[in-house]
């Protein structure tokens, strides 16, 4: 604009050594203009490099987006949402489903496409671990768990009954032992109180004694009884 006469040139007096001062304003202005033009060409390329670096730094975030999209597609596949058998149609159906999902609308189409392809590859896994099969397996395991708990309860009841029977048997044996001790002591006391009767029972009767006929010979009780 200064060269065209629209704007005035910069005025700047400069001198080197003892040389007379010259007006260096136009030179400075031209150099500043060249620097600005160079920056104008350099900044867009630098911005593109910064964008690439930023994308590289956000690679983990993008991978997390893929994981999230794949998780949604795989969960829907396990629930039986997708029914198309052809590989192309299956991927397309999954992409439409992911695009319409409210939590995935802000994701890029490349991420959704990759997640749809991953979901289609794992379709056999989704069929193996489908919601109906997993629910049936959980019900079976729950039933077995209840049976184990019932069996464990029965074992505990049996152990309690066994302990009661064992204690009861021990009490009965103690009572029998006490009863035998009492019987033995009663016999001992009986023979201590009736020594004469025991001696008469062991002595043979005299035929000349008229009262002997009325005595009946008895043998003393055996200790074994």
- Among 56, 72, 107, the domain-final residue is 56
Looking at the structure, tell me whether residues 30 and 73 fall in a common domain: no
- pLDDT reported for residue 81: 67
Query: Regarding predicted confidence, which is higher, 186 or 126?
Result: 186
Looking at the structure, tell me whether residues 82 and 31 fall in a common domain: no
Looking at the structure, tell me whether residues 94 and 111 fall in a common domain: yes
Q: Is residue 214 part of a domain?
A: no
Q: Is residue 37 part of a domain?
A: yes
Looking at the structure, tell me whether residues 65 and 125 fall in a common domain: yes
Q: What value does the mean pLDDT of the chain take?
A: 75
Query: Regarding predicted confidence, which is higher, 10 or 142?
Result: 142
Q: How confident is the model at residue 219 (pLDDT cuts 50, 70, 90)?
A: very low
Full residue range of the structural domain in which residue 176 is found: 140-186
Lowest average pLDDT, out of 6-10, 14-18, 56-60, 177-181, goes to 56-60
CA 153 to chain CA centroid, Å, is 25
Q: Is residue 222 part of a domain?
A: no
pLDDT per residue as tens digits for the range 43-102: 777 777 777 666 555 555 567 777 777 778 777 777 766 665 656 567 777 777 877 777
Nearby residues of 84 by Cβ (< 8 Å), 6 or more positions away: 90, 93
Looking at the structure, tell me whether residues 114 and 148 fall in a common domain: no
- pLDDT reported for residue 70: 78
- pLDDT reported for residue 165: 94
Give the count of domains, the chain.
3
Looking at the structure, tell me whether residues 72 and 121 fall in a common domain: yes
pLDDT per residue as tens digits for the range 175-192: 999 999 999 888 888 877
Statement: residue 16 has pLDDT above 90: no
Q: Is residue 5 part of a domain?
A: no
Q: Stretch 158-177: mean pLDDT, rounded?
A: 94
Share of the chain above pLDDT 70, in %: 70
- pLDDT reported for residue 84: 58
- pLDDT reported for residue 182: 92
Looking at the structure, tell me whether residues 25 and 73 fall in a common domain: no
Query: Regarding predicted confidence, which is higher, 193 or 182?
Result: 182
Q: Is residue 31 part of a domain?
A: yes
- pLDDT reported for residue 216: 44
Read off the pTM: 0.37
Q: Which two tokens stand for residue 77?
A: 């596949």
Looking at the structure, tell me whether residues 162 and 148 fall in a common domain: yes
Please give, one letter per residue, the 3-state secondary structure of the chain: CCCCCCCCCCCCEECCCCCCCEECHHHHHHHHHHHHHHHHHHHHHHHHHHHHHHHHHCHHHHHHHHHHHHHHHHHHHHCCCCCCCCHHHHHHHHHHHHHHCCCCCCCCHHHHHHHHHHHHHCHHHHHHCCHHHHHHHHHHHHHHHHHHHHHHHHHHHHHHHHHHHHHHHHHHHHHHHHHHHHHHHHHHHHHHHCHHHHHHHHCCCCCCCHHHHHCCCCCCCCCCC
Q: Is residue 85 part of a domain?
A: yes
Looking at the structure, tell me whether residues 23 and 67 fall in a common domain: no
Report which listed range, 88-97, 119-128, 179-188, 203-212, is most confident. Answer: 179-188
Looking at the structure, tell me whether residues 52 and 65 fall in a common domain: no
Q: Is residue 134 part of a domain?
A: no
Q: Is residue 215 part of a domain?
A: no
């Amino acid at each position: 604009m200064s060269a065209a006469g629209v704007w005035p040139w910069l005025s700047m007096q400069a001198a080197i050594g003892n040389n007379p001062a010259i007006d260096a304003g136009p030179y400075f202005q031209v150099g500043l203009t060249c620097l600005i033009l160079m920056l104008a060409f350099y900044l867009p390329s630098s911005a593109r490099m910064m964008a690439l670096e930023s994308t590289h730094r956000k690679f983990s975030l993008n991978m997390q987006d893929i994981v999230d999209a794949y998780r949604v597609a795989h969960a829907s596949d396990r629930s039986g949402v997708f029914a198309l058998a052809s590989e192309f149609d299956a991927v397309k159906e999954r992409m439409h489903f992911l695009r319409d999902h409210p939590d995935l609308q802000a994701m890029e189409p490349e991420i959704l496409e990759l997640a749809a392809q991953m979901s289609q590859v794992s379709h056999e896994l989704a069929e193996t671990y489908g919601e109906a099969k997993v629910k049936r397996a959980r019900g079976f395991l729950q039933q077995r768990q209840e049976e184990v708990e019932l069996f464990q309860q029965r074992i505990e009841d049996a152990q309690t009954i066994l302990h009661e029977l064992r204690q009861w048997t021990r009490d009965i044996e103690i009572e029998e032992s006490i009863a035998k001790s009492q019987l033995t002591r009663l016999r001992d006391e009986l023979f201590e109180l009736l020594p004469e009767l025991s001696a008469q029972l062991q002595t043979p009767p005299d035929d000349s004694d008229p009262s002997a006929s009325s005595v009946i010979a008895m043998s003393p009780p055996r200790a074994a009884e």
